[in-house]
Structures are given as C-alpha cells and as structure tokens.
C-alpha cells in the first residue's frame, strides 16, 4: 500500500459546519504527523510512541472482514523513532492497537481491507500487559458501545486514543512503558456535538524493574469514564471543543467531575 497520497483523519467527518480539529499537545513537542486510510497518528519521536491517534468510523458501512495484515515499521520514519518488534520479544507485553483494527474498516471491501491492514503499523501500537479481564474487555468495546447506544447522526463517530506519555513511566529496552491510556469519542446528535472520555490504567500490571518486564499476577486493568478536561491535564493534549461537549459536563449529571470506575457497559454515561 502506498501512503504517499493518504490524507488520514478528516476533521469534517461529523459535519462540515462543525469541523473537529486534530487534538494536539499543549506543549511545544515536535511530533511526526502520519496519515493512513481514515486515521492519523501524531508520533512523539523521543518517546517513540503516539501522542495522539484520530480515526473516523462510519458504523453504517463497517465491513466484517477476516483478520489480515502483519506488523510493520512505517517506512516514512527512521526505525529509531518507532517502537518496533524488539520491545515486544520474549516478554509479557502485547502490541496494543491504538486505532482498533476494525475501526477504519468501512466502505467497500477493498477500502476496508486496505484501512484495517494499515492499523498494523508499529506507530499505531503501544505496549500493553498481555492479560485480559473484564475491564480490558470494556475498553476494547467502547467504540461499539458508543455506536450502538449514543444517538449518533448517521452512525458516525470520531475517536482519539493514545498512551499518556508520562515522564515517570518505567523504561524497558529504551522505551517508556505507558501506565495509562486515554480514549475520547465524539459524535453529533440533533442537539449538537457530544463527547465522552475514558482512561485505561495498567499501573498495577506493569513491573519493569532491572531491565525486565513482567505482568504482576494480582494486578488488573482498570477502566474509568473521566471528564475530558481532566484528560487534557493528564495527557497534556488540547481537545478543543470536546471539553465543553463532554456528556459528564452537561447539567444534571451527578458526579460529573469525578472518575467513574466502569465495571460493566451499563456504567457508561452517554448523555
């Protein structure tokens, strides 16, 4: 697949009258902007991980395709700026998709296949503990839940996901292993723009002492619904219009300024 002419994330996807700019760091970090079919990665070349990913999802034309694609380095960047296969070898780390494989997989079968295979770029991965529990299951299904239960216009959502690049992250094989990840989903209803923010915490699971990495047996993934304003502060990312569009910031929402632990899909607030 040639990436030379790929435009990536479309800021007018939710409506030309309400363009949603690509979120960017609040600081002056130098990032690499990489376009893929229907999604964009803003890569931090120092951390060698994405600071932001952004994907457009058309739920009305998603294709249910078999899993194809192989993990690959992006040829547009030097390997030294990417977290490649060496970090994931012979340990308990998984290559966690940031933009999920199926999210850009819509349109014709050929378009969907090209887009889903592009998600296997190492620029779209981050180290995650190789265990699975109910909270991780919730995290992986957040986009589907929004598509099914939010009153979205034309079944369209835009989703922004990345690790929280904390300077205190434990370093393993030269790469800081993220302890937290954020996800912000945005959609449009008849009442206007709405959004919801989430954080996945794997701090209890990661042990990167003495140059090795291990999954703590008694740890767990924890997933929270979090005010987008707090995600801005936590991740250092400017989410623009999405802060005021947050469903937790709407009048009448109890505890809208709190982190809400998610134990089941029914705990998610979508307005």
- State yes or no: pLDDT of 130 exceeds 90: no
Domain boundaries, the chain: 24-267
Name the phi and psi angles at 163, rounded to 5.
Answer: -70, 150
Q: Mean pLDDT across the stretch 101-108?
A: 95
CATH 3.40.570.10 fits 24-267, yes or no: yes
Which pTM does this prediction carry? Answer: 0.94
Residue 5 banded pLDDT, cuts 50, 70, 90: low
Bridging pattern class, strands 180-189 and 156-163: antiparallel
CA distance linking residue 104 with residue 116, whole number of Å: 6
- Predicted confidence band at 3 (pLDDT cuts at 50, 70, 90)? low
Q: How far apart are CA 86 and CA 97, in angstroms?
A: 17
pLDDT score at 216: 57
What is the per-residue pLDDT across 202-234, written as a single tens digit (0 to 9) for each?
988 887 664 556 555 555 789 999 999 999 999
pLDDT at residue 35, as a whole number: 98
């Amino acid at each position: 697949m040639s990436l030379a002419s790929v435009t990536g994330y479309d800021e007018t996807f939710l409506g030309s009258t309400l363009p949603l700019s690509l979120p960017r760091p609040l600081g002056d970090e130098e990032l690499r902007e990489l376009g893929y079919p229907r999604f964009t990665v803003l890569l931090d070349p120092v951390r060698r991980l994405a600071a932001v990913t952004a994907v457009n999802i058309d739920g009305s034309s998603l294709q249910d395709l078999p899993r194809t694609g192989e993990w690959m380095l992006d040829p547009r960047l030097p390997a030294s700026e990417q977290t490649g296969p060496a970090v994931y070898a012979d340990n308990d780390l998984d290559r966690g998709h940031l933009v999920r494989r199926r999210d850009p997989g819509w349109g014709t079968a050929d378009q969907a296949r090209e887009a889903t295979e592009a998600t296997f770029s190492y620029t779209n991965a981050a180290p995650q503990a190789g265990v699975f529990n109910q909270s991780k299951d919730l995290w992986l299904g957040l986009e589907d839940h929004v598509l099914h239960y939010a009153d979205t216009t034309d079944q369209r959502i835009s989703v922004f996901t990345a690790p929280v690049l904390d300077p205190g992250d434990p370093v393993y094989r030269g790469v800081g292993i993220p302890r937290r990840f954020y996800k912000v989903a945005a959609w449009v209803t008849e009442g206007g723009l709405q959004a919801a923010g989430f954080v996945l915490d794997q701090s209890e699971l990661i042990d990167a002492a003495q140059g090795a990495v291990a999954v703590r047996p008694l740890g767990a993934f924890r997933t929270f619904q979090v005010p987008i304003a707090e995600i801005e502060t936590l991740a250092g990312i400017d989410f623009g219009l999405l802060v005021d569009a947050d469903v937790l910031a709407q009048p009448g929402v109890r505890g809208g300024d709190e982190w809400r632990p998610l134990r089941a899909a029914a705990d998610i607030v979508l307005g």
